[in-house]
Structures are given as C-alpha cells and as structure tokens.
Amino acid sequence: MGFDFEYALSIVPQILKALPTTFLVTVLCCFCAAVLAFAMEFTRRSGRILGYVMRFIIDAIRSTPILAQLYFVFFVLPFYGLTLPPMVVGVLGLSVYYSGYLAEVYKAGIDAIPRGQWDAAKALHLSRWDTISVIIAPQMLRNIAAPMGNYFVSILKATPYLAVIAVPEMLGEAFDIASDTFRYAEPILVVGIIFLSLALVIAQLVRLLEERMQQSLKR
Amino acid sequence: MCSSITDKTEVQNAVTISELSKFYGEFEALKHIDLEVTQGERVVVCGPSGSGKSTLIRCINGLETFQSGGLEIFGEAAGGKRNGKTDPRHKTGMVFQNFNLFPHMTVLDNCTLSPRKHKRGTRDKLDALALEVLDKVKIKDQADKYPSQLSGGQQQRVAIARALCMEPEILLFDEPTSALDPEMINEVLDVMVQVANEGNTMICVTHEMGFARKVADRVVFMDAGEIVEIAKPEDFFSTPKTDRAAEFLSQVL
Ligand SMILES: Nc1ncnc2c1ncn2[C@@H]1O[C@H](COP(=O)(O)OP(=O)(O)OP(=O)(O)O)[C@@H](O)[C@H]1O
Ligand SMILES: [Mg+2]
C-alpha cells in the first residue's frame, strides 16, 4: 500500500474542518495561560505565606501529567456535580497546565531585571500595580519573548490531547479518517504538515514581536 | 504643606532620626543613629565603604525597613514599614548611583510617569513641567530619546530631573557621581549645586569633597554603622575631631 498523493489531497478539507477548533483552542489557551501565569507569578512574589502556597501550586501543576489533569477535570469533577463542556475543560486544562510553565518563564524574565528598577519605582512612590504593569511587565516581556513563543507553539502542539475528551481537533479528525479507511500514512502526514505550518507562523509572529520590543533598547 | 504644624520660630525639621537601628539578619548595619536635618539644609554624608551610608538614606525613603528607633518626616512619624498613600516618605525623591532610569521609556516619560500616576495634572501640563525641569538640567533637547542613547552624565541628569518632577520636599542622593566617567562628573555636580542653591532640603552621600565644601551646611561622617562625627565642612576638612575621620580624609583627599 504505497502513499496515495491524490487521497492525501482529498482528505485535506475534512481535516481542515477541525482547524478552527484547533486554532480557537490555541489562541484561547495562549491568552488564558499568559494571564493566569502572570497572576500566579506575582502572587508567588507577593506575601510570604501566599508565596509558598503559590509556589506549591505551580510545582504541582508542572509535576503532574497533562492527561491526568484533563481526565481529572473531565471525569472526576462531574462526579461531584460539576459538568463542563469538553471545549471549556480543554481550554481550562491546557491553560492551567501551561500557566505553570509560563510562570517559571516569567520568573526568569523578572529576575533578569536589575533590582534598581524596583528601587526606582519605589523611590517614585508608584503603587505595586503601577510598578508591575508599567515598569516590570514590559521589561519582563522583552526578556522572555523567545521562550514564551516556544510555549505558545507547545500549546498548539498539545491541542491533540483534547481528543481524549472528545474535542474535535485536527489530529483526532485525522485518526477518525484513518480508522475508517485503514490508511494511516496520509491523514497523519497531512495533519503533521498543517501543524508544522501553524507552528512556523506562530514562531514568525513571535520573532517579529521580539524585534519590535528590542528596538527601544537598540535605538 | 505642614509648615503650620509647629508654631516655633525656629526652622522645622525635615528629617528626624532617633535611635534608629537596622539589621540585616544578625548584622547591625545601622547602630542607634540620631540625626536631625532642618528644612532647606544641605547635608553631605561620607564614610568608608560598608559604613552604612546607603542603608541610612534608603531607610529615610523606605527602600529599607528598620527594626527599631524612630523616623519622622516633617514631624510625621514614618514607621519601619511603608504605610500606603499617606506615608510621609512620599515627600522624598531619590537619585541613585546607577541612575536606574526606565530603559523602555523615553526621557520625558521617565520624568512624567510618577506625577501622572499621582494625578498631579493633565498630560500636557505635566509634559510642560517636565520639559521645564529638563531644561534646567540642560537636557531638554534629548527629551524624546531613550536612556540607552544617552551618556552616563546625561542619564544622571535625567534621573535628577525625574526626581525633581515629583516636586519632593527632601532630595536624597546616593553617590550620584560614583558610576560616572571622570569627564562627566562635573556636569552632574553643577546641576546638583544648582539644585542645592534653590533651597531644597538635600541629603547627599558623596565623596566629592569639593561639592561638600561648596554647598553642604553640615558633613556627616559615618563608620561601621555609626555616625562618628557631624561638623561644618570647613571644620570637618581642616580639623576632623576623630582619628577615624582623619584617616578617612587622608584617603579620599
Ligand atoms: N541587602 C543586604 N544584606 C545584607 N547585608 C547588607 C545588605 N545591604 C548592605 N549590607 C551590609 O550593610 C553594610 C552597610 O552597607 P551600605 O551599602 O549601606 O554601605 P555604604 O556605606 O553605602 O558603602 P558603599 O560606599 O560601598 O556604598 C555593609 O557591611 C553591607 O555589607
Ligand atoms: Mg553605598
């Protein structure tokens, strides 16, 4: 059974039907994870007790398999009366999982900011929120644009996990086709190429963003 | 602002430090410091490295907490920790050794940020005010540049302008010329002299003895976390009362 190019082309539209879902999940997760990680990282830095609690939560998120987390929300929570649509569970699960990693990236990005920046903000009597939002966050983002972009690509690549909780994303779609026709090479290759193209687009966008942010330093 | 609180005829204290002690863990960085600075007074703090000069002025504006003793700003008690919007430390402005300008903001934005966040006026008004101050430190033409495009001396003048834009009642300087190349020291000192002559209350950590002679009302000499000697500059430089001060002067002069 050789590779059938014509067949490969013919299944593209069917797989692309799931593209909007994959795209939506990716965008939502990138956004939610980025915001959640921000809140988590600054909570970790705020108080002593709150900081320890948050550190534990972040470590716990990063030390459990993503599938376990997804199964937990999807199968265990309904047992206690909380049933959420698969899409919501998926976005929630992936966002929380990656927020743990992004919080670590943020931490590195903040640690790289000289202490004098915090001192100056304090000496100018800025509130904590102003310090974070106007002084620290912009410099942090500039420090971490590249690793953050990597995690955005990771989030894209993690969307197939959602197949296990019945979210109709692309790899799941490809698998459905494969199990109907018993031809695996074509659907898997097609879906691989689509993922590759999307990842390249994200990487390029991040690079452009990074260059723009670096400019204020280079000038 | 609170000039009417005391009805005495003598000048009011801008800063009153009493029995202030500061620990880093077990290490006592400031030992029972007593110091009064009156309004409009210019005080130069000097002393060997590690003597606690930075720690002292960082305590005054709350960058460091202290464990015991008292600190008053214009008669208002400021505790060991910061205390929200009403904290009297809001009357202080500070200039750092390493400038600490915000690299992602233009010179003008660096200067207007704090006044804007404290709602001191409309953006136009604050911009105009900042430009006036930048003009005073002779760097108005660089207002739209970023700090990294400026020389060290220029950056420090911007930092002084940024502090002035808060219209602080007490100005703190921590070795403002120590990180500068020698040829840039004077342009910054000139600005500091000018600021001093405008009647601002200033506490300035510096080893620039020429500056101290020119503007200081008093020199505070610190060693090992203590204030060892307080004297008028002419007395301090010609006839230091303590051996420690004499030894220090022999090294820096
Ligand atoms: N964050 C800190 N943790 C522990 N010890 C500290 C800390 N900051 C300062 N110290 C110690 O406190 C003492 C006073 O430090 P400080 O920076 O006030 O000295 P200084 O007089 O400003 O010296 P320099 O002229 O080198 O700036 C030093 O012995 C220093 O090692
Ligand atoms: Mg110092």
A39 confidence band (pLDDT: 50, 70, 90) = very high
The 8-class DSSP code of residue B28 comes to: E
* Yes or no, beta carbons of A116 and B98 under 8 Å apart: yes
Give the total number of structural domains in chain A: 1
Letter for the amino acid at A155?
A: I
User: What pTM, to 2 d.p., does this model score?
Assistant: 0.88
Assess A124–B contact: CB distance below 8 Å, yes or no: yes
What are the residues whose beta carbons fall under 8 Å from the beta carbon of A28, sequence distance 6 or more?
A91, A95
* Yes or no, beta carbons of A217 and B148 under 8 Å apart: yes
Q: Which 3-state string (H, E, C) describes B74-135?
A: CCEECCCCCCCCCCHHHHEEEECCCCCCCCCCCHHHHHHHHHHHCCCCCHHHHHHHHHHHHH
B138 confidence band (pLDDT: 50, 70, 90) = very high
Atom 27 of ligand 1: nearest residue by CA position? B49
pLDDT of B75 reads 86
Segment A55-66 shows an average pLDDT of: 93
| pLDDT per position as a tens digit, B237-251 | 999 999 999 999 998
Reported ipTM: 0.90
Task: Specify the higher pLDDT residue, B10 or A148.
Answer: A148
* Yes or no, beta carbons of A125 and B163 under 8 Å apart: no
Residue holding tokens 């606690």? B52
**Token pair recorded at residue B57:** 């002025």
Q: Hey, is B167 helix, strand or coil? A: coil
As beta bridge partners, residue B72 has B16, B77
Instruction: Examine the pLDDT at A26 and tell me if it is beyond 60.
Output: yes
d(CA B98, CA B87): 26
Assess A14–B contact: CB distance below 8 Å, yes or no: no
Segment A115-133 shows an average pLDDT of: 94
Segment B10-24 shows an average pLDDT of: 90
Interface list for A 97-116 with B (CB within 8 A): 114, 116
Ligand showing the shortest atom-to-Cα distance for residue B55? 1
d(CA B206, CA B176): 7
B237: enclosing H helix or E strand: helix B233-238
* Yes or no, beta carbons of A127 and B96 under 8 Å apart: no
Instruction: Examine the pLDDT at B86 and tell me if it is beyond 90.
Output: no
In this structure, the strands spanning B218-223 and B68-73 are unpaired
Atom of ligand 1 at shortest range from CA of B175: 27
Task: Specify the higher pLDDT residue, A130 or A212.
Answer: A130
Task: Give the count of alpha carbons within 13 A of B186, CB side only.
Answer: 2
A113 confidence band (pLDDT: 50, 70, 90) = very high
d(CA B38, CA B59): 17
Atom of ligand 1 at shortest range from CA of B53: 21
d(CA A128, CA A109): 18
Ligand showing the shortest atom-to-Cα distance for residue B47? 1
Q: Ligand 1 centre from A63 Cα, in Å?
A: 40
* Yes or no, beta carbons of A126 and B96 under 8 Å apart: no
Instruction: Examine the pLDDT at A217 and tell me if it is beyond 70.
Output: no
A212 confidence band (pLDDT: 50, 70, 90) = confident
| pLDDT per position as a tens digit, B112-124 | 999 999 988 899 9
pLDDT of B1 reads 43
- Helices B152-164 and B123-136, packing angle to 10 deg: 130
* Count of Cβ atoms closer than 10 Å to residue B62 Cβ: 24
pLDDT of B251 reads 87
Instruction: Examine the pLDDT at A219 and tell me if it is beyond 60.
Output: no
A112: chain B residues, CB-CB within 8 Å: none
pLDDT of A82 reads 86
* Yes or no, beta carbons of A120 and B102 under 8 Å apart: yes
Out of B62, B100, B113, the one facing A117 most closely (by C-beta) is B100
Range of the domain at A93: 5-218
Angstrom CA distances, B84 to A122, A126, A128, B88, B89, stand at: 12, 10, 10, 9, 10
As beta bridge partners, residue B174 has B205
Atom of ligand 1 at shortest range from CA of B56: 18
Q: List residues near ligand 1 (CB under 6 A).
A: B 24, 27, 29, 47, 49-55
| pLDDT per position as a tens digit, B184-233 | 999 999 999 999 998 889 999 999 999 999 999 999 999 999 999 999 99
d(CA B227, CA B196): 23
pLDDT of A76 reads 87
* Spatial contact of A94 and A66, defined as CB atoms under 8 Å apart: yes
Q: What is the residue-averaged pLDDT of chain A?
A: 91
What are the residues whose beta carbons fall under 8 Å from the beta carbon of A174, sequence distance 6 or more?
A11, A15, A187, A188, A190, A191
In this structure, the strands spanning B27-38 and B42-46 are unpaired
Q: Which 3-state string (H, E, C) describes chain A?
A: CCCCHHHHHHHHHHHHCCHHHHHHHHHHHHHHHHHHHHHHHHHHCCCHHHHHHHHHHHHHHHCCCHHHHHHHHHHHHHHCCCCCCHHHHHHHHHHHHHHHHHHHHHHHHHHCCCHHHHHHHHHCCCCHHHHHHHHHHHHHHHHHHHHHHHHHHHHHHHHHHHHHHCCCCHHHHHHHHHHHHCCCHHHHHHHHHHHHHHHHHHHHHHHHHHHHHHHHHHC
* Spatial contact of B100 and A116, defined as CB atoms under 8 Å apart: yes
**Token pair recorded at residue A164:** 């296990």
* Yes or no, beta carbons of B166 and A124 under 8 Å apart: yes
Q: Ligand 1 centre from B29 Cα, in Å?
A: 7
As beta bridge partners, residue B229 has B221
| pLDDT per position as a tens digit, B150-173 | 999 999 999 999 999 999 999 999
B15: enclosing H helix or E strand: strand B13-24
- The CATH number assigned to the domain holding A156 equals 1.10.3720.10
Closest by CA to A142, choosing from A215, A218, A210, is A210
* Spatial contact of B157 and B193, defined as CB atoms under 8 Å apart: no
Task: Give the count of alpha carbons within 13 A of B30, CB side only.
Answer: 26
Angstrom CA distances, A12 to A15, A20, B98, stand at: 5, 14, 59
| pLDDT per position as a tens digit, A172-205 | 888 889 888 888 889 999 999 999 999 999 999 9
Q: How close B10 comes to chain A (CA, Å)?
A: 29
Segment A54-66 shows an average pLDDT of: 93
Give the number of A-B residue pairs with CB atoms closer than 8 Å.
Answer: 59
* Count of Cβ atoms closer than 10 Å to residue B45 Cβ: 28
Atom of ligand 1 at shortest range from CA of B27: 5
Q: How close B158 comes to chain A (CA, Å)?
A: 13
